[in-house]
Structure 1
Amino acid sequence: MAGLFLLAISFVFGLLSDAQAADSAREVRIATVAYNVNGKIGLNGSAAIVEKQGWLRDELAKQGVKLTWVPVTAQSVGVTINEAFANKSIDFAGYGDLPSVILNAGGVETRIVVPGGRGNNVYLLVSPNSTAKSLADLKGKRIALHRGRPWEITFARYVESNGLKFSDFKISNLNPGAGAAALAAGNVDAFVTLSDAFQLEDKKIGKIIWSTKSSTQDWKMRAELWGARDFIASNPAITQVVATAYVKAAHWTSQQANFNEYLKIANQNGQSEDVFRREYADDSTTWQSRWSPLFDDLVLDHYANAAQYSRKANLIRKDLNVSQLFEPRFLNAALKTLKLEGYWQPRKTAGKVS
């Protein structure tokens, strides 16, 4: 009898242990850049594809989990998402490298769950009537640059490669909207931005004199799917579903046959398809490779450089062990489940493109 009693007690404790081990979250909150176009909220990038496919919402619903998208304006992505991670009002976010490094160095721990591909281009514009043709021509001039945003690292590398320093310019810390307005009004001589550079050219507000299209692949601006460390640790099964959804989206987008459809979905931010076509044209990597979610040298080296730069620029007060930022197990499982092992090739050598 005593043996049966102990067996029963063991069984009950086993059930309790399993229940405690199970994912407890009933909602997944994912922050992403979003745009209000004609009164309708449009998600940006991979999030737009994930939402369009519907797989993530359906799979979470099967587990009794609600999917909530948390829209963030493009003018204040880093600050808004960092605050949301800090106060635990989001679980995942798609955003850039530099704000994430700053957040983790400050003690709020997040992890890269799925890398965001090969990165996006950064552009340097001057006013249409400017005689400046290179960075050297802007020495001593006013340049609009939103500090603490991912493209700051890219611009810093460009400046350093020319034997110059930020102190050689009059840097105005302006968000993208304010920077464009300042260039249009003649209050700055140059403006560092992303693909909206083409719109500014079309409107005769600026002209592009440099972009990362002419530089090595590792200069591009990066953004990844980040997850709160505590949420990941407590909800690994849910995290796996989220990671798999993003890998599915990357795989779909990477297929050339889906290029035109992708442009239509990406157009939710109000930019014309022509802007996207120019952003993606004449690039140094193939369309398939552009969407690689692998944790390869491109990702690892990039974050080592980002942490180094942040410390040097006094954006963080202590060194950051970047290896702790990477959580590749969910990506690896997703690739295996989706039978995509070998579909993307890792970039192995710094400065070269796969």
Structure 2
Amino acid sequence: MRARQPGPARGGLLGALRRLLPMVLACALPLTAASGAEPEAVRIATTAFTENGKAAIGGVAFRVQQEGWLAAQLQQRGVRLEWLPVAGDTGATMNEAFAGKRIDFAAYGDLPSVILNAGGVRTQVVVPAGRGSDVFLLVTPGSTARSIRDLKGKRISVHRGRPWELGLRHLIEDNGLSVGDFTLVNMDIKPGAAALATGKVDALFVLGGDALEDRGAGRIIWSSKGKPERKMRAELWGRRDFTQASPALTQLVVTAWLRAQHWASLDANREAFIRDGTRAGIPERVVRRAYDDPQLAWKDRFSPLYDGLVYWHYREVLAFARQQKLVRKQLTAEELLEPRFVDAGLKELGLSNYWTQEKQP
């Protein structure tokens, strides 16, 4: 393994994302826009895991799938609902599918989506996915480090170009340090965890830190719990030419997501939602621990509001992508966020005042 100093990655995920961007810019308008006819199918991609030997989806998307409301509504219009479960390198896979117009919606992270849009393949957030996901800094169980300041001059594994990379940059800056104070090693979660276990790196910055600590792979010395402005975000994104050509179908998808997020937010459904989280093979104690954040109400975890926190987050992501030379085109948060479908859906469901707006940090 070779340690990489921080700087723009030339290959791997970022290289793949960049190569995909120009693929369909010269394509003609989709059939729906040209003819006014509705498409044969609505296609939604979401992250996946293996369950009983088959690809399966979880979280809010699983609730949409299990409830069946969206599939029934589309069927009434003669339109199929197709799911694309994606495991592994989700960012590159979903970006490629968007670029090739093989999907219409995808539930995935912020940074790959920004890179896609900067290259000219336009998508927008059609449903914000709550208050974000937690990120973690872990060291070996025997390490004496208690904070990132104790890791100055050490090696930290983080997968560049993935949505949680910004969280590490924020953590470094919050502690009055600079990226140059560390050696950042570009690895995905599994090889990064293996490198931590064998002492090839001194720390690991990842998602899913609770599960890693539970199995003894590391010790958490920092997490974003209790820090809404430091969490990673993954949303439901829609391909802009599809949402513009088929607003009625887009509204059905958004309303289905709102129904699912409202269902998950109810205290009466909390246990069922947690049990769903164990389908990926994660012990229930770890799922419960992952949702343990005393400063975040259960209901607010599933807020779909385009509030000050959401706009602030995307301004931060865009600035980071430009600073790191991951993108060249200047974008704005307003270009990426499309609230009209959520506004209409909340009104239709009588939920306009259900969730509380979060202020900008």
Query: What's the TM-score once normalised by structure 1's chain length?
Result: 0.90
**Matching residue's letter, 1:163:** G
Which stretch shifts more, 222-231 or 269-278?
Answer: 269-278
Q: Secondary structure at the match of 1:143?
A: strand
Candidates 349, 354, 360, aligned match of 1:350: 360
**Is residue 134 of structure 2 the alignment partner of residue 121 of structure 1?**
yes
In the alignment, which residue of structure 2 is the partner of 1:13? none
Give, in whole Å, the separation in 2 of the partners of 1:193 and 1:267. Answer: 20
Does structure 1 conserve the Cα–Cα contact (< 8 Å) formed by 2:108 and 2:234?
yes
Does structure 1 conserve the Cα–Cα contact (< 8 Å) formed by 2:42 and 2:81?
yes
Q: Secondary structure at the match of 1:213?
A: coil
From the superposition, tell whether residues 136 and 213 of structure 1 become closer, same or farther in structure 2 (CA, over 3 Å): same
Q: How far apart are residue 185 of structure 1 and its match?
A: 2.2
In the alignment, which residue of structure 1 is the partner of 2:239? 228
Q: How does 1:49-60 map to 2 (within 5 A)?
A: 49-60=63-74
In the alignment, which residue of structure 2 is the partner of 1:251? 262
Q: How does 1:138-217 map to 2 (within 5 A)?
A: 138-195=151-208, 197-214=209-226, 216-217=227-228
Deviations, residues 148-167 of structure 1 (Å, cap 9, x unaligned): 11111111111111122222
From the superposition, tell whether residues 209 and 233 of structure 1 become closer, same or farther in structure 2 (CA, over 3 Å): same
Give, in whole Å, the separation in 2 of the partners of 1:331 and 1:267. Answer: 29
**Is residue 46 of structure 2 the alignment partner of residue 32 of structure 1?**
yes
**Matching residue's letter, 1:38:** N
Q: How does 1:1-354 map to 2 (within 5 A)?
A: 22-73=36-87, 75-195=88-208, 197-214=209-226, 216-347=227-358, 349-351=359-361
Deviations, residues 296-352 of structure 1 (Å, cap 9, x unaligned): 1111111011101111111111321221111111111111111111001111x323x
Deviations, residues 197-223 of structure 1 (Å, cap 9, x unaligned): 222212211010000014x31111111
Greater helix content: 1
Say what the alpha-carbon RMSD is for the aligned residues: 1.6
Q: Secondary structure at the match of 1:318?
A: coil
Give, in whole Å, the separation in 1 of the partners of 2:177 and 2:286. Answer: 31
Does structure 2 conserve the Cα–Cα contact (< 8 Å) formed by 1:76 and 1:175?
no
Does structure 2 conserve the Cα–Cα contact (< 8 Å) formed by 1:217 and 1:284?
no
Does structure 1 conserve the Cα–Cα contact (< 8 Å) formed by 2:98 and 2:104?
yes
Deviations, residues 49-79 of structure 1 (Å, cap 9, x unaligned): 1111111111111111111111111x31111
In the alignment, which residue of structure 2 is the partner of 1:5? none
From the superposition, tell whether residues 283 and 179 of structure 1 become closer, same or farther in structure 2 (CA, over 3 Å): farther
Give, in whole Å, the separation in 2 of the partners of 1:145 and 1:273. Answer: 27
**Matching residue's letter, 2:216:** K
From the superposition, tell whether residues 294 and 21 of structure 1 become closer, same or farther in structure 2 (CA, over 3 Å): farther
Does structure 2 conserve the Cα–Cα contact (< 8 Å) formed by 1:45 and 1:266?
yes
Give, in whole Å, the separation in 2 of the partners of 1:53 and 1:167. Answer: 49
Give, in whole Å, the separation in 2 of the partners of 1:170 and 1:65. Answer: 51
Q: How far apart are residue 22 of structure 1 and its match?
A: 4.6
Structure 1 unaligned segments of length 5 or more: list them.
1-17
**Matching residue's letter, 2:221:** I
Q: How far apart are residue 267 of structure 1 and its match?
A: 2.1
Does structure 1 conserve the Cα–Cα contact (< 8 Å) formed by 2:107 and 2:236?
yes
Q: How far apart are residue 44 of structure 1 and its match?
A: 2.5
Does structure 2 conserve the Cα–Cα contact (< 8 Å) formed by 1:23 and 1:237?
no
Give, in whole Å, the separation in 1 of the partners of 2:176 and 2:114. Answer: 26
Q: Secondary structure at the match of 2:83?
A: strand
Does structure 1 conserve the Cα–Cα contact (< 8 Å) formed by 2:140 and 2:203?
yes
Aligned-pair identity (%) = 50
Q: Secondary structure at the match of 2:89?
A: helix
Rg bigger for which structure?
A: 1
Q: How far apart are residue 21 of structure 1 and its match?
A: 7.3
Structure 2 unaligned segments of length 5 or more: list them.
1-31
Does structure 2 conserve the Cα–Cα contact (< 8 Å) formed by 1:23 and 1:236?
no
Deviations, residues 208-262 of structure 1 (Å, cap 9, x unaligned): 0000014x31111111100000111111111010000000000000001100000
From the superposition, tell whether residues 20 and 314 of structure 1 become closer, same or farther in structure 2 (CA, over 3 Å): closer
Q: Which runs of 4+ in 1 moved over 4 A?
A: 18-23
